[in-house]
Amino acid sequence: MRSSSLLLFLSFLLGVCEVQGAEKKEDFRICAFNLHHYGESKSKKSNVMHTLSRIISRCDITLLQEVRDSKEKAIPVLMDRLNRYDTAHQYSFVASERLGRSESYQEQYVFVYRSDTVSVTGQYQYPDNRRGKEDVFSREPFVVRFKAPKTEIKEFVLIPQHTSPENTTQELDALYDVLQQVIRMWRTENVMLLGDFNADCGYLAKKNRKLVRLITEKKLYWLIPEKVDTTVRESTSCTYDRIVVHGETFARAVVPLSAKPFNFQREYRLTEEQALEISDHYPVQVSLKSNSSPRSGGMKESVHHLLSLLALSHLILNILTR
């Protein structure tokens, strides 16, 4: 009985040490968030903007989708609120042109990033072929290359996509061609694809998945698990929003199990109605390993914790066996 109690106590202490070690390590977070019709009207709601600032400030880079800012006022408001909310960092953004087949409904991809730690080293708007036979995308990808010196990977490319629900299978498959072009153009294997893929429920039938090269290609790693709900409404449970990493090098640079939705409704104790004012999607996120903490330091800390535990266990064992 005494030995069992000792083992349980040691397990608890070891867990505490592991958590403390994890908290000391600052990883680099990339997020993707469908803002659900973000424009001038939403930017005037103080409570919404406050919550958006809290959400976006958690991430080193955030891809925003469904940005409808035709007057070019909503994003400046967001950036002002964000920089006033998080004074520890400086935030900048880079945005695509307005995209969409209909003149009455167009969106932008916007990347918000911490400019004190991240820099943009390239950008590429995938061509609009609406007049040709290759018109696959409703909103062509706006590809951006980032340099992040504090990560193990150092530099990488992000390919965003908000697929059209009516054409999800074809658009996801065509993203593979975009990926190959980017790899050739920038001579890099370190590419991440992310966004609201509509890759679940009625928009991507299981029988069609074998037709999507983005799914069948072995060098691509889908990080958000199936059957994880990325939607706010209780009446839906779909894994629409995804993060996909290309290549083993990039995959090894990802913090294990860090890819997941961020349930801001639960985190900030909002009602469903309040959460839906912000978006009907949760942002999805993934962390990259940081190079700020040398591996040797981590090993020394582990050895120190182990020696402390051994000494403590010896003391407790003597007490229990008296």
Angle at 46 between CA 233 and CA 287, to 5 degrees: 60
Sheet strand arrangement including 155-160: 119-125, 142-147, 155-160, 191-196, 241-246, 220-222
Q: Which position among 107, 171, 246, 281 bears the catalytic label?
A: 107
CA 95 – CA 288 distance, rounded (Å) = 23
The yes-or-no answer on residue 277 being catalytic is: no
The residue whose two tokens read 């001038």 is: 40
The yes-or-no answer on residue 107 being catalytic is: yes
Q: Which position among 89, 97, 134, 162 bears the catalytic label?
A: 162
Closest to 240 measured CA to CA, from 195, 271, 293: 195
β-pairing verdict for 191-196 and 155-160: parallel
Closest to 32 measured CA to CA, from 233, 199, 256: 199
CA 76 – CA 54 distance, rounded (Å) = 16
CA 271 – CA 250 distance, rounded (Å) = 37
The residues that are catalytic are 107, 162
